[in-house]
Structure 1
């Protein structure tokens, strides 16, 4: 039986050993249903352009790694043994890319990438119909399966022991907190129900985190009658 969004969010969790690394960490989980699959349109293009301009303005004043939330995420990566200069969190990767142009994929992906840059927070999107059980953030044992691609071929890898990963009952859905998503649950052109994970550390307060979620849902609601549910997982 497919769990309801309310049930899935109620069973979502962040392990205590993750909070021990960063007591200021919060995850805002947002489920959006009724998404209308579509190619990029004028609205999503305008949002991408605004995000690119915002990134250019930020980087005219400071380097990427000195932006407050990027710097905080670099510290979080170091706390569990990752090298942020080699494996960049999704916010840093998108912000670095934005001045030269963000990718154009489809309306859904374009909107959430733009919101990530505009609000300066890591934001992951997953196809909820491909999920197996609730999302859980924990430190890996190192045996969990993670399906990805290497040299154009599908392969199964495993996280490093102690690595912070998002998982469901079938395996890892995102490695190194918010670095790389699994192929199994990634958004695609036919996605109609999505789970979004908005990650925040100390430089971002709950009001700003909520504003990012409101912006995301608002843009996805343009032209379609979506329903949404959310849950904030905070320290303690």
Structure 2
């Protein structure tokens, strides 16, 4: 029964954070309708322009709040929050391509609500998942690479007993735990550090779970971790 645990060293930096998770079991993530997911992303890109009202990209609130957060821990030079990377593509009129249903769904939610979203294949996990500060010794093969890129000591990471599975909090995911068309059980998350956007956070979590359930079947479980609720069992 693997657990998701958020360690004290994370809360010492971000006591106001909320981490919403959607545990998906028995889903069908195979690609059946590329056009539908492409349309989902195109509509989400249109909605994302609401978060780009200021001409100076980095001053838009959904970006600046994460720029400030990334200054609180050691990061790889140039590392940015995942929502910033998506919104930069929207600003530059570069379409977000389809990957597989789960990734397309959570990317669309990220764009619609201006919140970072991510996901991993539960069946690849080794032991518990922890959101914590890295010790600087964790193995990490970035998505699309074959070379180890160990996190810095003190860097915020998601990790299991095998190594890091997402570096710089939500910047770069691991090849080992990536979602594929064969994924049957998935760990999805939405992260919020802006207390003024609590309503959007909970709505995004609800819509994410509903889209997965509607399109991919299986069962979904939703939970929110915060300072007063720091761990949960992933699969009973």
Give the TM-score normalised by structure 1: 0.87
- Structure-to-structure mapping, 1:1-236, within 5 angstroms: 3=1, 8=2, 11-39=3-31, 40-82=33-75, 86-98=78-90, 99-148=93-142, 154-203=146-195, 205-236=197-228
Q: How many residues align?
A: 225
CA distance in 1, matches of 2:211, 2:111: 15
- The question of whether the paired residues in 2 share the 8 Å contact of 1:137 and 1:165 is answered with yes
Residue 153 and residue 200 in structure 1: after superposition, are their counterparts in 2 closer, same or farther (change >3 A)? closer
- The question of whether the paired residues in 2 share the 8 Å contact of 1:146 and 1:173 is answered with yes
User: How far is 1:37 from its partner?
Assistant: 2.2
User: How far is 1:205 from its partner?
Assistant: 3.7
> Could you say what secondary structure the match of 1:156 adopts?
coil
Residue 139 and residue 63 in structure 1: after superposition, are their counterparts in 2 closer, same or farther (change >3 A)? same
Q: Which runs of 5+ in 2 are unaligned?
A: 229-236
Q: Which runs of 5+ in 1 are unaligned?
A: none
- The question of whether the paired residues in 2 share the 8 Å contact of 1:17 and 1:138 is answered with yes
CA distance in 2, matches of 1:81, 1:109: 27
CA distance in 2, matches of 1:153, 1:175: 14
> Could you say what secondary structure the match of 1:125 adopts?
strand
CA distance in 1, matches of 2:156, 2:8: 12
- How big is each residue's C-alpha offset from its partner over 1:67-122, in whole Å with a ceiling of 9 and x where there is no partner? 223211111111113377x1111010011113321121122211111111111111
Runs of 4+ in 1 over 6 A off after TM superposition: none
Give the TM-score normalised by structure 2: 0.87
CA distance in 2, matches of 1:48, 1:92: 16
Q: What do you get for the CA RMSD once the two structures are aligned?
A: 2.0
Quick check: 35-44 or 162-171, which moved more? Answer: 35-44
